[in-house]
Amino acid sequence: MNKPLVAIVDDDPTVLASLVELLESAEFRTRSFHSGDALLAYGLEGVEVLISDIGMPGADGFELRDLVRQADPQLPVFLITGRHEIADQDRARGIDGFLRKPFDGHALVAAVRKALSDRES
Amino acid sequence: MDRRGGSQEPPRTKAVEAAKLVERITGNAWATDAIGNFIYLTPAALASLKASLESLNSPPDNNSSGWRRIIHPEDYDAAAEAWRRCLKTGEHYSVEHRMPRANGVYGQVRSSGQPTYDADGAIAGWYGTFIDIDAPPRTLEVELRERERQLQQLIDSVPALIWSTMADGTPTYVNKPFTEVTGATLEDITAPDRSASLGVVHPEDRAAAREAFLRSVASGTPYIQRYRQHRADGNYHWTETRAHPSRDEAGLIVEWYGVSSDIDDLIATQDALRESEQQLQQLVETLPALIYCALPDGKPIYRSKRLREYLGLNLEETDGLGKTRLEGTLDAVIHPDDLVEVKRRYAHSLATGEPYLLRHRLRRFDGVYRWVETRASAMRNGDGEIVQWNGICLDIEDQVIAREELSRAQENLTRSSQAASLAELSASIAHEVNQPLSAVMNYSSACQRWLTAGPPNIERALKALDRLVQSANSAADVVSRIRALFKQSTDKRDSAELGTVVRQARDLLAEEAGRRRITMNIEGESGLRLVPFDRVQIQQVLVNLMRNGMDAMASVSSERVLDIRAFRAGDMVRIEVKDRGRGIQFPDKIFEPFFTTKDDGMGMGLAISRSIIESHGGQLWAEKNEPLGAILVFTLPLDVAKMP
């Protein structure tokens, strides 16, 4: 069976690498990007889940989410931030899949799996 | 002849008896018979005339004898005519004529006589007397008249209005100037009842003048009165009138002599002066300041109304306390904590004449002490001697309060901005720590998964663990860097070479730069030795500036180049980080805490960077790069002693 493909966007290389390691250990395929622009340039072909940092140069997490939802409205998107002020902003409220750094890696993996199974059913 | 005439016994007639009676009263007398022959003449008179009765009775046509001896030739005919008529008719004789005196000089006499009658009613004889009615000799009279004329002239030419009245106040005289100036004659100032009409006195002043004049007349005391007096042109002039009584030998008042002086100019000047004084007084009283005056020794002699009301004290109220008025006043109104200094400075000014200026607390009438600023300076006379001290006191309580409030507000602001930057710093710290911490948690989860997989992937687990340790170390680095930032300590400082620090910063960002397609050019003089500095902090500044430069070029399509240069400028080293981005829109604000142009920035990077550079004795600022972009420049002191 094909492993689901997860796209990961973060401008901090350390965080990006750690996310890749986490998701690979949970038997996902990953494709990592240093910016939203890089992801858009590459395309969403085969991507089943998107995990993105919010604060990034160029297109930030919120813009990226809006853009990919135009192409695939059902695509599960997880946004993460280290800035608690951003998490408290109006545009972040009521959104599923919103995470504050640092978060429990197992919880992220569980949430991603649940999103995929919800989508299949 | 005298003796002969005198020794002759006169006939005992009625006329002779009557003549002798008259002689007793008047000193001389004569008697004739019925037809006019002298039968008696007072012997002294005969002696004085050097004549005898016989010679007097000689025929009248003889020029050298008879009546001609006792009557001036010019008066003779009239007298003889009158005498003949009286002898004929019996009417009384009364004629004035000149008569020679003993010294030969003629004097004026009235010669009068009347007949005596016998039992039948016929004229029996005549008797009479000479009454000396002589005026002074003509020369004396002329002299007196001349003197009187001169006196009159004097009185009329004196530039004063002179008048006189009788003892009871009835006007008797006004001089010429009086009439010329007032337009009033003696008649004009005399009422129908002969009293003084005071018609020249202004109606409003007349009653008072009359009362004063009558009082003087009644008591005999000199009269002095000021009133408006009528002028010939119809105006009234202020006049001062004085009058003194003139007394006879018995001390009884005979007349009043008065003089009126025109004092209109004086009064006008006095009025103007009074008005000017009033204005000045009003000015001083209405100035919105507390004003006082003191004698050269400091004794207060004047306080403006505002000051009196402010203190609630009158000048004299602090007297009689066994102190000088100055001391009593100062003790009463100056705040006890300021009293010593006030007294010291006041004494200094009084001793030296130097102006006085001091801020102190002053006790207000309600017992509240308020801050005032008091200034006083000496007023000197033409000789430079101090005649008075003039002082002004301004209530500056409100300014003092306002200033205190301002400084309190500034203090609060500083504290709150410190608190804010600490809060901001906490957020930054959280972010800085969160990144490696988040990696640590991801790697730990991954590590667990590799180990619990079936079969366990030991190789990947170890690799994840290795990265986990790296991330944890980097989190620890952040914490210690931040701790160093707060400590601002110098114990971490060493004498590393600047070039090394710059290269390390470049290495740290090399991967990122490559990813963002940014070229970094490093250029620097070799052997730049700085005074000991904190390499972690300086590196943090460099990384911060370089990252900012990269961010600035994130959205430009032209070539992305970041130039880092370090070179000597005097005793400092100058480090420049140039980007080719869109430039800085708010060069003045970018160093302020919280100022950011980035959505995810908190605006602390440059603020912290600047405080780090400044704590090292350098400066950090922004310049414009040409043709585009910005230059962030900072300086650090060189260790000149160790420089080649």
Residue B420 pLDDT > 50: no
- Residue A52, beta-bridge partner list: A9, A79
The pLDDT value recorded for residue A83 is 65
Q: Which whole-number Å values give the CA distances from B330 to A37, B223, B334, B603, in the listed order?
A: 82, 51, 5, 58
Residues B57-64 have a mean pLDDT of: 62
The pLDDT value recorded for residue B59 is 67
Residue B224 pLDDT > 80: yes
pLDDT band at B489 (very low <50, low <70, confident <90, very high): very low
Residues B599, A55: C-beta atoms closer than 8 Å: yes
Residues A47-66 have a mean pLDDT of: 88
**Which of B102, B134, B166 marks a domain boundary?**
B134
Percentage of chain B lying above the pLDDT 90 cut? 30
**Least confidently predicted of B171-175, B592-596, B606-610:** B592-596
Q: Do both B454 and B355 map to the same domain? A: no
Q: Give dist(CA B605, CA B632) in Å, integer.
A: 13
Residue B643 pLDDT > 70: no
The pLDDT value recorded for residue B492 is 59
**Least confidently predicted of A38-42, B46-50, B223-227, B622-626:** B46-50
**Least confidently predicted of B45-49, B338-342, B520-524:** B45-49
Q: Do both B384 and B415 map to the same domain? A: no
Q: Give dist(CA B402, CA B340) in Å, integer.
A: 26
Q: Which whole-number Å values give the CA distances from B304 to B165, B237, B290, B298, in the listed order?
A: 52, 36, 6, 16
Neighboring chain B residues of A22 at a CB cutoff of 8 Å: 442-443, 445-446, 449
Neighboring chain A residues of B460 at a CB cutoff of 8 Å: 21, 24-25
Phi-psi domain of B343 (left: phi exceeds 0; alpha: psi -120 through 50; beta: other): alpha
Q: Which of B442, B467, B478, B508 to mutate against chain A (most A CBs within 10 Å)?
A: B442
Q: Which pairing describes strands A29-33 and A5-9: parallel, antiparallel, or unpaired?
A: parallel
Q: Do both B479 and B497 map to the same domain? A: no
- Residue B97, beta-bridge partner list: B109
Residue B449 in contact with partner chain A when CB distance is under 8 A: yes
Q: How many CB pairs under 8 A join A and B?
A: 98
Structure tokens at B201: 């006195």
Residue B29: which CATH number?
3.30.450.20
pLDDT band at B160 (very low <50, low <70, confident <90, very high): confident
B95 Cβ contact partners less than 8 Å away, ≥ 6 residues apart:
B75, B78, B79, B82, B83, B110, B111, B112
Percentage of chain B lying above the pLDDT 70 cut? 89
Neighboring chain B residues of A57 at a CB cutoff of 8 Å: 516, 551, 554
Q: Is residue B293 part of a domain?
A: yes
Q: Is residue B281 part of a domain?
A: no
CA atoms lying within 13 Å on the CB side of residue B615:
19
pLDDT band at B426 (very low <50, low <70, confident <90, very high): low
Neighboring chain A residues of B467 at a CB cutoff of 8 Å: 17-18, 21
Q: Do both B626 and B503 map to the same domain? A: yes
**Which of B395, B420, B440 marks a domain boundary?**
B395
Residues B435, A14: C-beta atoms closer than 8 Å: yes
**Least confidently predicted of A30-34, B130-134, B166-170:** B130-134
Q: Which of A3, A22, A53 to mutate against chain B (most B CBs within 10 Å)?
A: A22
Min Cα–Cα distance to chain A from B444, Å: 8
Nearest to A15 among B439, B515, B516 (CB): B439
Neighboring chain A residues of B512 at a CB cutoff of 8 Å: 13
The whole-chain average pLDDT of chain B stands at: 84
Residues B427, A83: C-beta atoms closer than 8 Å: yes
Q: Please name the residue of chain A whose CA is at the shortest distance from the CA of residue B440.
A: A18
Per-residue pLDDT of B257-270, as tens digits, reads 999 988 989 888 98
* Domain count within chain B: 5
Structure tokens at B473: 């170390």
Residues A101, B435: C-beta atoms closer than 8 Å: yes
**Least confidently predicted of B132-146, B341-355, B436-450, B458-472:** B132-146
Residues B434, A101: C-beta atoms closer than 8 Å: yes
Residues B446, A21: C-beta atoms closer than 8 Å: yes
The pLDDT value recorded for residue B592 is 65
Q: Give dist(CA B162, CA B177) in Å, integer.
A: 8
- Domain with B239, as residue range(s), is 140-268
Residue B34 pLDDT > 90: no
Q: Is residue B278 part of a domain?
A: no
Per-residue pLDDT of B232-260, as tens digits, reads 999 999 999 999 999 988 889 989 999 99
Q: Which of A101, A106, A113 to mutate against chain B (most B CBs within 10 Å)?
A: A101
Classified as helix, coil or strand, B377 is strand
Q: Which residue has the higher pLDDT, B542 or B423?
A: B542
Q: Do both B465 and B515 map to the same domain? A: no
Q: What is the third-level CATH fold of A1-59+66-88?
A: Rossmann fold (3.40.50)
Residue B443 in contact with partner chain A when CB distance is under 8 A: yes
Per-residue pLDDT of B443-456, as tens digits, reads 999 999 999 988 99
Q: Do both B373 and B503 map to the same domain? A: no
Neighboring chain A residues of B555 at a CB cutoff of 8 Å: 58
Q: Phi then psi for B11, rounded to 5 degrees? A: -65, 150
Residue B569: which CATH number?
3.30.565.10
Neighbours of B126 (CB within 10 A): 28
Q: Is residue B401 part of a domain?
A: no
Residues B155-182 have a mean pLDDT of: 89
Q: Do residues B474 and A14 touch, judged by C-beta distance below 8 A?
A: yes
Residues B449, A26: C-beta atoms closer than 8 Å: yes
Residue B551 in contact with partner chain A when CB distance is under 8 A: yes
Q: Do both B636 and B497 map to the same domain? A: yes
Q: Give dist(CA A49, CA A5) in Å, integer.
A: 7
Residues 480-539 of B with CB under 8 A from A: 511-512, 515-516
Q: Which residue has the higher pLDDT, B55 or B593?
A: B55
Min Cα–Cα distance to chain B from A43, Å: 18
Residues B551, A34: C-beta atoms closer than 8 Å: no
Q: Do both B348 and B440 map to the same domain? A: no
Residue B94 pLDDT > 60: yes
Nearest to A85 among B427, B440, B448 (CB): B427
Q: Give dist(CA B521, CA B513) in Å, integer.
A: 11
pLDDT band at B530 (very low <50, low <70, confident <90, very high): confident
pLDDT band at B419 (very low <50, low <70, confident <90, very high): very low
Residues A106, B445: C-beta atoms closer than 8 Å: yes
Neighboring chain A residues of B443 at a CB cutoff of 8 Å: 18, 21-22
**Least confidently predicted of A49-58, B44-53, B550-559, B610-619:** B44-53
Neighboring chain B residues of A15 at a CB cutoff of 8 Å: 435, 438-439, 442
Q: Is residue B466 part of a domain?
A: yes
Q: Please name the residue of chain B whose CA is at the shortest distance from the CA of residue A55.
A: B600
Neighboring chain A residues of B602 at a CB cutoff of 8 Å: 83
Q: Which of B445, B467, B560 to mutate against chain A (most A CBs within 10 Å)?
A: B445
Residues B408-419 have a mean pLDDT of: 56
pLDDT band at B354 (very low <50, low <70, confident <90, very high): very high
Q: Which amino acid makes up residue B601? A: G
Residue B428 pLDDT > 80: no
Residues B446, A18: C-beta atoms closer than 8 Å: yes
**Least confidently predicted of A93-102, B51-60, B460-469, B573-582:** A93-102
Which residue ranges make up each domain of chain A?
A: 1-59+66-88
Q: Give dist(CA B340, CA B336) in Å, integer.
A: 8
- The structure tokens 């480090």 sit at B575
Residue B578 pLDDT > 90: yes
Residues A82, B434: C-beta atoms closer than 8 Å: yes
Per-residue pLDDT of B538-573, as tens digits, reads 887 888 888 888 888 888 888 899 999 999 988 899
The pLDDT value recorded for residue B533 is 84
Q: Is residue B277 part of a domain?
A: no
Q: Do both B293 and B246 map to the same domain? A: no
pLDDT band at A5 (very low <50, low <70, confident <90, very high): very high
The whole-chain average pLDDT of chain A stands at: 85
- Mean pLDDT comparison of A19-23, B24-28, B274-278, B471-475, highest-scoring range: A19-23
Q: Please name the residue of chain A whose CA is at the shortest distance from the CA of residue B514.
A: A34
Q: Which of B600, B602, B604 to mutate against chain A (most A CBs within 10 Å)?
A: B600
**Least confidently predicted of B16-25, B59-68, B279-288, B345-354:** B59-68
Q: Do both B579 and B598 map to the same domain? A: yes
Q: Do both B479 and B421 map to the same domain? A: yes
For chain B, counts of helices (H) and of strands (E): 17, 20
Q: Do both B502 and B477 map to the same domain? A: no
